[in-house]
Amino acid sequence: MFPVSVSRHVSHGLRTAFPRKLTITIPTTRLTPVSTRFISSTPSLYDSNKNPPNNSKKYPSESSSAAASVEEATEHEGRYARTDESVRVEYPPDDEMPPTPVVQGRGGRHFKRTLASYSLEDRVSVVTGGARGLGLVMGQALVASGSDLAIVDLNIQEAQEQAKNMLAQFQAENPGLDERSLPKITAHQADVGNPDSVDSSVAEILKEHGRIDHLVTSAGFTENFDAVSYPHDRMQKLWSVNVDGSYLFAVAVAKHLMARKSPGSIVFIGSMSGAIVNVPQPQAPYNAAKAAIRHLAASLAVEWASVGIRVNCISPGYMLTALTRKILDDNPDLKEKWTSLIPQGKMGTPEDLMGPVTFLLSDASKYVTGADLRVDGGYTLT
């Protein structure tokens, strides 16, 4: 559930991983080519007249670059990396490594190599519909990426149970962490289609966590009725949960972010059904609702871009959740029909959304807003 590259533990480990200063020898002669810089490095982000930041503790492999004097930027700056083989870096011996693993989990001791911009460390994320299915798995991904989590669901007992289970699983896979290093995972009840219920839930989350940085609107459901016999009250309920719920929670979180004058990111969970018509099942109102979600994300992305709030949409294809497994077990011909239309030849799993949701919430996608990321095995391309 929680990969060994848990970001909340790596920051402490890296600070203690290399206590000795690195020994670096740099020739005094100036390198003649104008576009060549000292040692292997990417372009400097700091002023060469100021003291360079000491990254040796946080990023040992980059310490030679950080400690070396940096030449004036040229017209070629940023296009190339150069290597000066005269630089010698002395790494600490094994017996001076920290006594505890830098990152703990099933994989044992290792250094995390994921880009830092993918981390959700010190963030608070909210997932609606987070007690089961896609929402539950995406919540697990956010915790594994360093975030604290507020699980919102209509069924508060189920949300509380999943919050408890998630924390226990995290502790089991990351033994030895002190309480300060554990994620804060809370459960909250909300009828996402009811404005008063949404406002109350958001207020409760803010009281528990102090702030909200990210939102995933995963609450939703589908039903299969042909259009002429679809009960109107059921259609209203479907629209209320899928569309109103996403809108109301997004607005409530956006108000909070604007009041804090803080950037944030929101991910709506749509469906490939918002872009194509599924066959053979009849579900016209659901398709229309998911198309609305996709365009709502784009519209809010434009409206809120100036205040630093990004809004994107993930549109999953056919996913093997517990519910769909049961449906397909009862209808084997339907599974064969669906699979035959997927270029990858298989249905997806909830775990296939862990990477996309982390990417779209994190700073790794800071220049991405209004996007619709389809996770469908290529279904909508055919």
DSSP letter string, 280-339? SS--HHHHHHHHHHHHHHHHHHHHHGGGTEEEEEEEE-SB--HHHHHHHHH-HHHHHHHH
Q: Report how far residue 170's alpha carbon sits from residue 141's, in angstroms, rounded to the nearest whole number.
A: 11
Q: Which of 119, 201, 265, 271 is catalytic?
A: 271
**H-run or E-run covering 46:** none
- Beta bridge mates, 216: 127, 267
Tell me the HSE value of 197 on the side-chain side, using a 13 A CA sphere: 16
Residue 126, strand partner residues: 150, 215
Query: Are the beta carbons of 270 and 216 closer than 8 angstroms?
Result: no
218 flagged as catalytic? no
Number of H helices, E strands in the chain: 11, 7
Angle (CA) 143-218-284 rounded to 5° is 160
Q: What is the dihedral of CA 286, 290, 293, 294, to 10 degrees?
A: -160
CA angle 150, 130, 357 (to 5 degrees): 90
Percent helix, strand, coil in the chain (nearest 5)? Answer: 45, 10, 45
In whole angstroms, what is the distance from residue 90 CA to residue 258 CA? Answer: 48
d(CA 260, CA 378): 40
Residue 148's beta-bridge partner residues? Answer: 124
Which one of 290, 315, 318, 365 is the catalytic residue? 290
From the centroid of its chain, how far is CA 94?
34
Secondary element (H or E) of residue 222: none
Question: Any idea what DSSP says for residue 367?
Answer: T
Give yes or no: 247 in active site. no
Catalytic option among 118, 230, 247, 286:
286
d(CA 23, CA 349): 49
**Residues marked as catalytic:** 271, 286, 290
